[in-house]
Amino acid sequence: MVAQSVKNQASQYTSLDIDRLRMGVKLLAPIFDAESEKSLLLLASGKTITKGTIENLKKRGIRSVRVHERDLQNLLLPPGESQNSESDSNQNHSNLNQSRRRKKLLLQAVYAASQKKEMDAQRTDSPWQIQTSSFLHEIRPVQEISYSSEMKNEYREQFSELTKITDNVYKQLLSTKQISMRQIYGITNIAFAQMAEDMDLFVLEGIAPIAVGNFCRHGLQMSSLAMAIGTQLGLSRENLIKLSIGCLLHDTGMDRVNFQALWKNKPLSPIEILELKKHPTITYDLLNQVNEVPTISKLIAYQIHERCDGSGYPRGQKGHQIHPLAKIASVADEFIDLVSSRPNKLGLLPYQAAEKLVYGASQGIYDCNSVRALLQSTSLYPVGSLVELNNGKQAVVIRTNRRQYDNPIVEILEQGGLHQLTNLLDFDDVHVVRAVSKQELQMSLVPN
């Protein structure tokens, strides 16, 4: 079974002397006064530790702080090093990372746009702010270990069982206009447990290509990927559940349209496209008869195919007319659709799908924050991707490095069947140059 529930959030904080804080680090979680009985908030997540920050805290009489375990490794200054020397070291390291990022113009455009939105969010009620209630605090830090084969099989089996449950929910809704919310919440509870235990493995199962017409599986995987994206954006459990429900149920209306056109070996005709575009409205009408489904979830299901530039359907809405959670759902939906094949369309490599979404975000089609969070969830070379390194070796991406989405953790493949675990963040001279297909990999591993 999936590991038991996560520990109490308070146990994830550690006291740290203020003179041991490393400067130049951006906080992933809030920090609190270690000597206050009322958990006095000192710095919110997203703030950067600077010399001025430390001086201001000392002026207030703060001698030690409570730091979340996700920040502890980055914030803890090594013994024998002063904050001044560490500041210089961080500056040099930052310059190196900036030089590398310049080579990725599309990523830079998305990052710049999302940063602007983050600044705007501080003046609005935008959900893209990491609060103490964010589920992100319950996610384990990045693990530099390979997958457990037992856990991988367990996740796969659970996804198969959950697909059957989703199918039952669809049939119940279509035949009786009722939904078992107990089954729905059972699906979300398993998702929360899986994410907390191994986020990368959870995402790996969620981004797999899907056979055409398997709407239940599509809804389940889309729900999983959207929850992973929403977690990186700082959503609470409550909002993640609403997001999950909207994604799970969004394709129920496909049963009431002529979707057989998807099996054709030629492009869809304009009439067939119009027929398929009816399903969000039909889905909304179905869900609107079920009081137990949250209103926001109904709206998410209705707006999943809308696009920020107004090019989507069913109403061509744009920007603030689209619910923020629906923008997350649309990115998850598009990624899975891009990697999946149909008779008239060959699925893209995961990297190509990510690249297309990045470009779309830079053109205003997709929400920049949602695409950035997708990259943090999957990396630029998504989990499971086969890649070639600049030293000529080939590898498989097994884990993300969250914000450093162009430097994942990989297993380098050798002809002898050995796999060498390598974190690309540890090497300045080793990086991914391209994604490769399974056919290329098989050819390269054949002995001469």
Domain positions in the chain are 9-102, 135-378, 386-444
Distances in Å between the Cα of 281 and the Cα atoms of 1, 250, 269, 332 are 38, 10, 20, 20
Higher pLDDT among residues 13 and 170, named by residue: 170
Over residues 198-237, the pLDDT tens digits come to 999 999 999 999 887 789 999 999 999 999 999 999 999 9
What's the pLDDT band for 336 if we cut at 50, 70, 90? very high
What distance in Å separates the CA atoms of residue 433 and residue 389, rounded to the nearest whole number? Answer: 5
What distance in Å separates the CA atoms of residue 235 and residue 135, rounded to the nearest whole number? Answer: 6
Strand stretches in 288-362, DSSP E:
none
Half-sphere exposure of 363 (CA within 13 A, CB side): 10
The predicted model scores a pTM of 0.72
Are 146 and 398 a contacting pair, CB within 8 Å? yes
Higher pLDDT among residues 178 and 92, named by residue: 178
Kindly report which listed range (142-156, 160-174, 238-252, 261-275) carries the lowest average pLDDT score.
Answer: 261-275
Distances in Å between the Cα of 72 and the Cα atoms of 21, 89, 93, 346 are 9, 18, 19, 44
Helix (H, G, I), strand (E, B), or coil: what is residue 414? coil
What's the pLDDT band for 85 if we cut at 50, 70, 90? low
Helix (H, G, I), strand (E, B), or coil: what is residue 14? strand
Containing 182, the helix (H) or strand (E) segment is helix 181-197
* DSSP bridge pairs for 68: 13
Over residues 31-57, the pLDDT tens digits come to 888 776 556 778 888 788 888 888 888
Higher pLDDT among residues 144 and 87, named by residue: 144
Residue 416 has φ and ψ, to the nearest 5°, of -80, 0
Over residues 104-140, the pLDDT tens digits come to 555 555 555 555 555 444 333 344 567 888 999 999 8
Percent of the chain with pLDDT over 90: 49
Enter the tokens of residue 18. 């203020």
Are 77 and 22 a contacting pair, CB within 8 Å? yes
> Counting every residue, how long is the chain?
448
Residue 370 has φ and ψ, to the nearest 5°, of -65, -40
What distance in Å separates the CA atoms of residue 76 and residue 71, rounded to the nearest whole number? Answer: 8
Over residues 180-192, the pLDDT tens digits come to 999 999 999 999 9
- Cβ of 127: how many Cβ atoms within 10 Å? 18
- Angle at alpha carbon of residue 223, lines to 218 and 226, rounded to 5°: 120
Q: Which amino acid is at 314?
A: P
What distance in Å separates the CA atoms of residue 246 and residue 250, rounded to the nearest whole number? Answer: 6
CATH topology assigned to domain 135-378: Hypothetical protein af1432 (1.10.3210)
